[in-house]
A and B are shown apart, each in its own frame.
Chain A
Amino acid sequence: MSISLESTGKPSVHDYFCKTECTWCDGCGDYGIMAAAKRALVELEIAPHEVLMCFDIGCHGNASDKMLGYRVHGLHGRVLPFASGAKLANPNMPVLAFGGDGASFSEGVNHLVHSVRSHYPITFVLHNNANFGLTQGQASSLTWQNQPMNTSPNGIPEDTINPMDFIFSLQPTFVARTWSGDIPQMTKVLKAAIKHRGFAFVDILQACPTYNKFATHEWLLEHCYDANADGHDASDFEAAKKIACDTSKKVSCGILYQTEDHPHFYEKLVPRQGIKTTVVDEVAITDVSELMKEFV
């Protein structure tokens, strides 16, 4: 993905500073994730006015006014189509979409399916704390089995979705997993995701000290390991899928799979081939005399 906007001077993390006070619980993974997002943008020399960040509804969505940059805080479950529509209008602009596991695997799961298969060139950051935090700790479809949750005191009767199995079934071009306690790794992953040619899926396992009593910060610290450092070949789809899906003993993190060989959605649009302008640049009264001829 190209970032063609001209940067003027090197941006710093301070440029993203916003005076609004954070409202997350102590120990919430969102602090670390947003710190890493800012670091990644700064290290890529993207200034706040050069990026569009779209937020879903959920605890993570409260980051929408905790940092600067062009931001949108939209509807629950719908961040992906808003972000991809924005991206198609101006493909020169880096677009990041942030969504929780509730929004992305329940209300808006269809958008996730179609965003992966459409290869929209955006970065999707999954804030995966395995529950609906903002509405006070209900189970999501990623909540583990046998976990009493708000409104499911006996645990969920449904099966739990394995998000990696789900994503890999859709022939993704970029899959990464990291966790909210490892800011350097998140930064590295997010930088790669933002630079990726197509749709980048970044699963961030996120501590939720208030409602998630199973995959806690300590549990994640104990189980997560850096697969890239461990010699994993991120170009090997089958190997990536295997280590991504099986989290029974340890949880592979880092860039699990990436290919730059697949064109993204915009590149596949026949009418846009060879056109340098964006559809944002092209808004003007347009002559339709040629179109009229068909009807005479």
Chain B
Amino acid sequence: MSRISFKVTGAQGQGINSVGEMVAKGLKRAGHHVFGYREYMSVIKGGHSSYQLDICDSHIESSETHVDILVCLNYIGLQRDLGSVKEGGVLLHLIPDWKFSAEDQKMLDDKKIQILYLPMEKILKEHNSRPIVGNMCVTAVVWGLLGRNYDTLKDMAAEQFAHKGEKVIALNHTFIDEGKKFKEESAGAIVIDVPSPDAARTDDLLVTGSEAMGMGMVHAGCRMYCGYPMTPASPLLKYIADNQNKTNMVVKQAEDEITAIQMVSGAMHMGTRAATATSGGGYDLMSETLSLNGIIENPSVMVLAMRQGPSTGLPTWSGQGDMLLSIFGSHGEYPRLVMAVSDSQDCFDLMPDAFNYAEEYQLPVTILTDKHIAEGLYMQPQYDLKKAKISRGNLVTKQAELDKLVSADRYNPAAKDGISPRWLPGAKAATYCAQGDEHDSEGNVEEGGQNAIEQMDKRMKKMAVMKAALPDPELFGDQNPETLIVSWGSNKGCILDAIKDQKGIGYLHYSYLWPLRIEKLEALAAKAKKIIFIEATYQGHLSKLIRMESGLTFDHQILKYDGRPFFFDELQGKLLTMNN
């Protein structure tokens, strides 16, 4: 496997994403495999942020710690990020008269790093232009360093600025020419080889996990979305809201997270498919409502987009530390499904499943994602739109069947598998109460002990039935592994990249976390010589859950809780050490 990477760093608001996204799109359209990764701080302007693009000769879903090309739009990158340039790499910066410290200069010399100073201030002055246009020049230099054709870049600029008119397009073309001139005059000989493309993937999508999830929800028949802004759940709200005039969905930015989940619950109770998303803090606020949906057996779907740390923690960074919260948080005992997406494929494919499970088993479904997935840029084969089926479980809509219903059918503890018929407000049928107090079959408040047992048994029976119906965790890599890796969520991308083509290593990936299926894991663990557990938490949540459910323990754990995702070279190194 051959891979390279480049990173743009600068202050938020300087337009680093525009450089990264333009290069990503250009490479993708030529069939190169790319993966984009953003780091940024919780501020609107300023702060120090970066956009990294990794490019590979096969499918890729991870980033490296070191890059072949580092672009610094401001001096902070020159102080902080120098160490991340690979030996023989290129450093491109825009800072006039910059003097490296003696120590930095030695490091740059030792690593034979080529330093390019792009006189952006001068170029902007010559064209009497605003700094933001300069990013097109930077893009052009990177484009040249990657040995690309400048005409392709010009076509993309024309496409991107088509809505702004000819003048803006012409200006951007001028800055592409400036970049080309600089590249040819100052760095003529330097070309970083781009790993070979795959012609079959030129029509792929370039999507973030949030966009993929948004499309997946629309595909799944989700017709209403309520959300309260919170990173890293906000990009999903933004995607859904931005597209409301195309999808005709009801979109509501709620006054708080409790409102968002309550509105979703009301809408689902009424019979549509609705969803909300939040991060850990918002989930805390929503959890009481999940419990309500548990007892009234109301389907609901919510996304918990995780970030690192307690309280506000690291609000724009990634982590998996809310997993046990999503399983055990919220009061009382009630059935629920917790599932986790891992990349842009899951983000789309699992949305119909999430709604189907919610409706089939009439319970709250939590979908875990994280900042790394939500804002990661994936190269995604076009989605198969024929695959998903809608399943609404025991929803009764035909009048002949509605006529037969009595109120007591709604929560009758004798219902097969604990799953009652469900019918919607407005249906011409016997009415019932969706009762948040413990209740009898009709939803009347009932505090008797025997009734409490029967109703709890009824509800929890659904968990057992659902567990039997859920897919097993999926085994990737060696199908008869000596070394078995177990993990979930966004770690999958990096793990698969790290074990690619390695014999003897298999990766068991969990998409469904609660209820937890352990038979396949136990069978594989019995044969494996070594089991390695990987998670972006301090405590190793899934390992604790597995131990609780099966008694199985892990001798080797790779845990990480610095807010950063697992990086390709970092994980590969750790696995190598562990496997020797």
Which residues from chain A sit less than 8 Å from chain B, CB to CB?
Answer: 5, 8, 18, 20, 48-50, 52, 54, 57, 62, 64-65, 68-75, 78, 81-90, 92-93, 110-111, 113-114, 266, 269-272, 275, 278-280, 282-292, 295-296
B292 within 8 A of A: yes
Bound form: Cα–Cα A92–B424 in Å: 13
Q: Is the pair B267, A88 in contact by a Cβ cutoff of 8 Å?
A: yes
| Stretch of B9-17, B136-144, B215-223, B565-573 contacting A (4+ beta carbons < 8 Å) | B215-223
Residue pairs across A and B with Cβ atoms less than 8 A apart, 24 shown, are A49-B425, A49-B429, A54-B266, A57-B436, A68-B431, A70-B432, A71-B432, A71-B435, A74-B292, A75-B292, A81-B259, A84-B266, A85-B226, A86-B266, A86-B267, A90-B272, A92-B426, A271-B247, A271-B249, A272-B250, A275-B248, A279-B272, A283-B223, A286-B221
A286-B272 contact given A49-B428, A65-B435, A269-B250, CB 8 Å threshold: no
Q: Is the pair B389, A82 in contact by a Cβ cutoff of 8 Å?
A: no
> Which residues of A lie under 8 Å from residue B252 when comparing CB positions?
88
Residue on A with the closest CB to B202? A296
Among all A-B residue pairs, the 6 with the closest Cβ atoms = A85-B266, A85-B263, A279-B223, A81-B262, A86-B266, A295-B205
B187 within 8 A of A: no
Q: Is the pair B205, A85 in contact by a Cβ cutoff of 8 Å?
A: no
Q: Is the pair B271, A280 in contact by a Cβ cutoff of 8 Å?
A: yes
Q: Is the pair B262, A85 in contact by a Cβ cutoff of 8 Å?
A: yes
Residue on A with the closest CB to B204? A296
B184 within 8 A of A: no
Q: Is the pair B426, A5 in contact by a Cβ cutoff of 8 Å?
A: yes
B36 within 8 A of A: no
B171 within 8 A of A: no
A62-B445 contact given A110-B256, A295-B206, CB 8 Å threshold: yes
Interface centre among B270, B273, B429 (most CB of A within 10 A): B270
**The residue from A64, A113, A283 contacting B273, defined by CB atoms under 8 A apart:** A283
Q: Is the pair A88, B259 in contact by a Cβ cutoff of 8 Å?
A: no
Number of A-B contacts (CB under 8 A): 215
Q: Is the pair B431, A280 in contact by a Cβ cutoff of 8 Å?
A: no
> Which residues of B lie under 8 Å from residue A78 when comparing CB positions?
258, 262, 289
> Which residues of B lie under 8 Å from residue A86 when comparing CB positions?
266-267, 269-270, 425
**The residue from B219, B272, B427 contacting A285, defined by CB atoms under 8 A apart:** B219
Bound form: Cα–Cα A287–B425 in Å: 28
> Which residues of B lie under 8 Å from residue A65 when comparing CB positions?
433, 435, 439, 442-445
> Which residues of A lie under 8 Å from residue B206 when comparing CB positions?
295-296
> Which residues of A lie under 8 Å from residue B20 when comparing CB positions?
none
Rounded to whole Å, the gap between the CB of B152 and the closest CB of chain A is 15
Q: Is the pair A111, B255 in contact by a Cβ cutoff of 8 Å?
A: yes
B382 within 8 A of A: yes
B468 within 8 A of A: no
Q: Is the pair B270, A20 in contact by a Cβ cutoff of 8 Å?
A: no
